[in-house]
Chains A and B, each alone.
Chain A
């Protein structure tokens, strides 16, 4: 008996081979072969044409950790940020190596798909590092603004001799 799944796939038992135009029900090794039904085709088409919903953001442990670090006394926030930046950069280096290795296979659909997935990882890691840089800059600016006004302001330094 065929079982219809929500996705509209039929598990075609051997007895249904050739009926419904769904192709073979199993191969010589006994592996079950699935075939997309007409309602399933409709669902797939609807899935492709519908944007992925951005409802509630997923739990972001790093954002939670940094938020706690700036509020809990005694936490070295700079060290928290740098440790994460180094770890994320190491991952980004790995993704980049994988991407370079995948470039040779980009002409095949599967190779291109893998390369695009790696791009997604690269963009996510890059965004995380940019957010860490941004957070660090904001915290430093806030710390400077809390300092007494007698401290020498960076703007007084001759820009020609300031390190870039």
Chain B
């Protein structure tokens, strides 16, 4: 099989030391390949958001290694890591994290402009990304003129603009109703089907079910992982799972 887009190798993260040390992650190994959406589930305190933070290079592991497209993030200096985050990794957050003073298109174009791209080209790419997520006609609206679902679509456009290959989503449906949440999962799923690698952190089983694999975390450890069979014969009479 090809090289994984995201490869967490024996990753641990400890906050503090001595008697107050908190082991957020313990020797976790996860590989996510192009075209794959992996869901991470677990209760509060299980380490799922820590995993996402490390995968995105926003934090460093206490031990182990995090590789994105073969590059160990911990081997990069701060500047190169920031560039990697802008060009290779897209984030989608529960609370959207859009800049209120910028329009939808400007929010999406910002990472590309920060990377030195000319404004006109960055806007063109932003409009294409917004069109891909179904809200091209809302490009010039400000976040407070958009519904929650539309804001999350803008956030997804920002995460995928520039053909980034790794999408990290932290409870992206948390602020949305069920139907809008399913639309958002449909967009993430489509992006992964088109070749991106996705990691979805969620505590809601109905959204995790959109993933190819579901990883269960408890107390910082992976306790189980599920991969569904093809559903063709699922409902045959007498079939048991």
A: which residues have CB within 8 A of B? Answer: 82-83, 85-98, 100-101, 122, 125-126, 129-130, 133, 136-137, 152, 154, 156-158, 161-164
Across-interface contacts of A136 in B (CB, < 8 A) = 43
Chain A contact residues: helix, strand, loop or mixed:
helix
Across-interface contacts of B47 in A (CB, < 8 A) = 163-164
Interface hits, B214-239 → A, CB 8 Å: 214, 216, 220, 223-231, 234-235
Contact partner of B46 (CB less than 8 A), chosen from A91, A95, A163, is A163
B19 touches A90 (CB 8 A): no
* Partner-binding segment picked from B63-71, B99-107, B144-152, B204-212: B204-212
B174 contacts the other chain (CB 8 A): no
B241 touches A126 (CB 8 A): no
A122 and B204 CA atoms in complex are apart in Å by 12
Min CB gap B186→A, angstroms: 8
Contact partner of A130 (CB less than 8 A), chosen from B13, B205, B228, B230, is B205
B: which residues have CB within 8 A of A? Answer: 13, 15-16, 19-20, 22, 24-25, 41, 43-50, 186, 189, 204-206, 208-211, 214, 216, 220, 223-231, 234-235, 241
B48 touches A89 (CB 8 A): no
Shortest Cβ-Cβ A-B pairs, 10 listed: A163-B24, A93-B228, A161-B15, A164-B49, A94-B231, A96-B209, A92-B209, A129-B205, A86-B226, A163-B47
A92 touches B45 (CB 8 A): no
Given A91-B241, A94-B234, check contact A163 B209 (CB 8 Å): no
A163 touches B231 (CB 8 A): no
A151 and B206 CA atoms in complex are apart in Å by 37
- A125, closest chain B residue (CB): B205
- B189, closest chain A residue (CB): A100
B43 touches A82 (CB 8 A): no
Given A86-B216, A163-B24, check contact A98 B231 (CB 8 Å): yes
- A98, closest chain B residue (CB): B231
A90 touches B216 (CB 8 A): no
A89 touches B208 (CB 8 A): yes
Given A161-B15, A163-B24, check contact A93 B209 (CB 8 Å): yes
- B220, closest chain A residue (CB): A163
Given A82-B216, A86-B216, A162-B45, check contact A126 B228 (CB 8 Å): no
Across-interface contacts of A162 in B (CB, < 8 A) = 15, 22, 24, 45
Across-interface contacts of A100 in B (CB, < 8 A) = 186, 189
A87 and B229 CA atoms in complex are apart in Å by 11
- A85, closest chain B residue (CB): B216
29 residue pairs A–B, Cβ–Cβ below 8 Å: A83-B224, A85-B216, A86-B224, A87-B241, A89-B41, A89-B205, A90-B229, A91-B228, A91-B241, A93-B210, A94-B228, A95-B234, A96-B206, A96-B209, A122-B206, A122-B209, A133-B43, A136-B43, A157-B22, A158-B16, A158-B20, A161-B16, A162-B15, A162-B22, A163-B13, A163-B22, A163-B24, A164-B44, A164-B47
